[in-house]
Structure 1
Amino acid sequence: MSHGKIREEKNCLNCGHTVEERFCPHCGQENIEPRQPFYFLFTHFIEDFTHYDGQFWKTIKYLLFQPGKLTREYLSGKRQLYVAPVKLYIFISFITFFVPTLFPHSEDNDNETTEKHSIQKQKEDKKEQIAKIVDSIKSGIASDSQNKNDSIFIGGNGVSKIQVLEEVISKKKILSTHKDQFAILGATSMKQYDSLSKTGGRNYASLRPFAKKIFYLQDRGLKRKEIVGRFVETFIHTFPKALFVYLPIFAFFLWLFHSKKKWWYFDHGIFTLHYFSFLLLSTLIFILGSHLTSTFPSYTILTVITGLCYTALFFYTCAYFFIAHHRVYENSKRISIIKGSILFIVNFIGLLLMLMILSYISFITMH
Structure 2
Amino acid sequence: MSHGKLREDKTCLNCGHQVEERFCPHCGQENIESRQPFHFLFTHFIEDFTHYDGQFWKTMQYLFTRPGTLTKEYLAGKRQLYVAPVKLYIFISFITFFLPNILPHAKDEGERPSHNKVETKSQKQKELSKDIVKDLQKKGVLSYEAAHNTQKALDTLNTLDTLKIKEAQEKSDLLDRTFDTNETSIMNAHTMKQYDSIQAKDKTGIYTLLRPIAEKAFALKEEGFTKHQIWEKYKENFIHTIPKALFVYLPIFAFFLWLFHDKKKWWYFDHGIFTLHYFSFLLLGILIFIVGEKIISYLPDSNWLTLLYVLACLGLSAYMTIYFFVAHHRVYETKKRTSILKGLLLFIINYIGLLLMFMVLMYLSFIMLH
Normalising by structure 1, we get a TM-score of 0.74
Aligned to 2:317: 314
- Superposed, which structure 2 residues align to 1:222-233 within 5 Å? 222-223=226-227, 228=231, 231-233=234-236
CA distance in 2: counterparts of 1:53 and 1:174, whole angstroms: 58
Q: How far apart, in 2, do the equivalents of 1:185 and 1:267 lie?
A: 47
In 1, are the aligned partners of 2:4 and 2:33 still within 8 Å (CA)?
Answer: yes
Match of 2:189 in 1: 187
Deviation, 1:197, is: 3.0
**Equivalent runs, 1:282-301 vs 2, <5 Å:** 282-301=285-304
1:333 equivalent in structure 2: 336
**Which one-letter code corresponds to 1:93 in the other structure?**
S
The letter for the 1-side match of 2:333 is E
Aligned equivalent of 2:199: 197
When the two structures are superposed, what TM-score results if normalisation uses the length of structure 2? 0.74
Residues 217 and 227, structure 1, Cα contact 8 Å, conserved in 2: yes
How far apart, CA to CA, are the structure 2 residues paired with 1:103 and 1:216?
A: 32
Distance in 2 separating the partners of 1:366 and 1:259: 44
SS in 2 for 1:294: helix
1:120-167: CA deviations, max 9, x gaps?
xxxxxxxxxxxxxxxxxxxxxxxxxxxxxxxxxxxxxxxxxxxxxxxx
| Cα displacement (A) at 1:319 | 1.0
Q: Match for 1:8: what amino acid?
A: E
Aligned length: 302
Change (3 A) 1:83 1:175: closer
**1:346 paired to 2:349:** yes
Q: Distance in 1 between matches of 2:198 and 2:101?
A: 40
2:271 maps to 1:268: yes
Of 258, 272, 278, 2:261 maps to: 258
Gaps of 5+ in 2: 107-173
Whether the 8 Å contact between 2:58 and 2:82 is mirrored in structure 1 is: yes
- What is the deviation of 1:105? 8.7
Name the larger-Rg structure. Answer: 2
* Match status 1:247 vs 2:247: no
Range with bigger deviation, 53-62 or 186-195:
186-195
Equivalent residues in 2 for 1:112-261 (5 A)? 181-201=183-203, 202-217=205-220, 220-223=224-227, 228=231, 231-261=234-264
> Which range moved further: 349-358 or 236-245?
236-245
Contact 2:2/2:44, CA 8 A, preserved across alignment: no
1:242 touches 1:351 (CA, 8 Å); kept in 2?
A: no
Partner amino acid for 2:38? F
8 Å contact 1:92–1:277 — kept in the other structure? yes
CA offset at residue 173 of structure 1? 6.1
Q: Which residue of 1 aligns with 2:114?
A: none
Equivalents in 2 of 1:33, 1:78: separation in Å? 31
Amino acid at match of 1:339: K
Question: Aligned-pair RMSD on alpha carbons?
Answer: 2.7
In 2, Cα distance between equivalents of 1:42 and 1:173:
53
Give unpaired runs (5+ residues) of structure 1.
107-171
**Counterpart Cα distance in 1 of 2:315 and 2:369:** 31
Greater fraction of residues in helix = 2
Structure 1: distance between partners of 2:177 and 2:40: 65
Q: In the alignment, does 2:290 pair up with 1:281?
A: no
Shift of 1:293: 2.6
Distance in structure 2 (CA, Å) of the matches to 1:351 and 1:183: 29
Q: Does 1:74 align with 2:65?
A: no
The change in CA–CA distance for 1:230 and 1:302 in structure 2 (over 3 A counts) is farther
Q: CA 1:238/1:312 → structure 2, altered by over 3 Å: closer, same or farther?
A: farther
Q: Which residue of structure 1 aligns with residue 145 of structure 2?
A: none
Q: For residue 39 of structure 1, what is the amino acid of its counterpart?
A: H
CA distance in 2, matches of 1:284, 1:103: 12
2:159 paired residue number: none
8 A Cα contact 2:93 2:283, kept in partner? yes
CA contact (8 A) 2:253 2:350 kept: yes
Structure 2 CA distance for aligned equivalents of residues 178 and 41 of structure 1: 50
For 1:118, the equivalent position in structure 2 comes to none
Distance in 1, matches of 2:321 and 2:361, equals 22
**Structure 1 SS opposite 2:67:** coil
